[in-house]
Amino acid sequence: MRHVDFSPLYRSTVGFDRLFSMLDSLGQFDSGQTYPPYNIERTGEDAYRISMAVAGFSENDISVEAHQNMLTIKGEKREERNDERTEILHRGIASRSFERRFQLADHVEVTGAVLKDGLLHIDLVRNLPEDMKPRRIPIARAETGTTKQIEATKAAA
């Protein structure tokens, strides 16, 4: 895959650094990370939810951090001490550590996280500032029949 060099554009633009770094990161492969699986849902006009399957993890094993439009979810399972009388013959429930990152759009904030039934639900909301929301401009009606005509007086010759 080709790598595009955006450095000439840095000289002629101001404030677009984040945009160029996002475009540059599109060409990089996502290291094939599939664990843990997740869903992204729209729950309202400006509300979203990320649901992640984290069976076997407790609230103390998971950390959720939002920093500069990046949401990072880390899970690290603490060492379990098994009873000396038991022996695990097959380990099918994954308990490996993970880290998932989500790039958030501008003005998207994390409002909460809940762990229920093996699913971690992270609620997000987009709060656009009032000056960025579209606004309706009223159109005034012109008065009809009251137009004034300005006549010039004839200059004396």
CATH of the domain at 103: 2.60.40.790
Domain total of the chain: 2
In this prediction, residue 34 carries a pLDDT of: 79
Radius of gyration, alpha carbons of the chain:
29
- pTM beyond 0.75: the answer is no
In this prediction, residue 143 carries a pLDDT of: 73
- Which one is predicted more confidently, 74 or 82? 74
Q: 1 and 22: one domain? A: yes
Q: 13 and 40: one domain? A: no
In this prediction, residue 49 carries a pLDDT of: 94
Mean pLDDT check: name the lowest of 43-52, 106-115, 129-138: 129-138
CA distances from 15 to 20, 109, 133 (A): 10, 22, 21
pLDDT digits (tens, 9 = 90+) for 75-128: 998 766 666 788 878 877 767 889 999 988 888 899 999 999 989 999 999 888
**What's the chain's average pLDDT?**
79
pLDDT digits (tens, 9 = 90+) for 51-66: 999 988 889 999 999 9
In terms of residue numbers, what domain contains 11?
A: 1-30
In this prediction, residue 89 carries a pLDDT of: 84
pLDDT-derived band at 46 (thresholds 50, 70, 90) equals confident
Within-domain flag for 138:
no
Report the largest interatomic distance among the alpha carbons of the chain, rounded to a whole angstrom.
125
Compute the average pLDDT of residues 126-149. 78
Q: 55 and 125: one domain? A: yes
Q: 6 and 74: one domain? A: no
Q: 67 and 104: one domain? A: yes
Q: 66 and 117: one domain? A: yes
Q: 41 and 116: one domain? A: yes
Q: 26 and 40: one domain? A: no
24 pLDDT higher than 60: yes
Q: Give the DSSP letter string of 59-106.
A: GGGEEEEEETTEEEEEE-PPPP---TT---S---S----EEEEEEPPT
In this prediction, residue 19 carries a pLDDT of: 67
Within-domain flag for 26:
yes
**C-alpha–C-alpha distance, residues 90 and 98, integer Å:** 21
Torsions phi, psi of 36, nearest 5? -85, 155
In this prediction, residue 95 carries a pLDDT of: 73
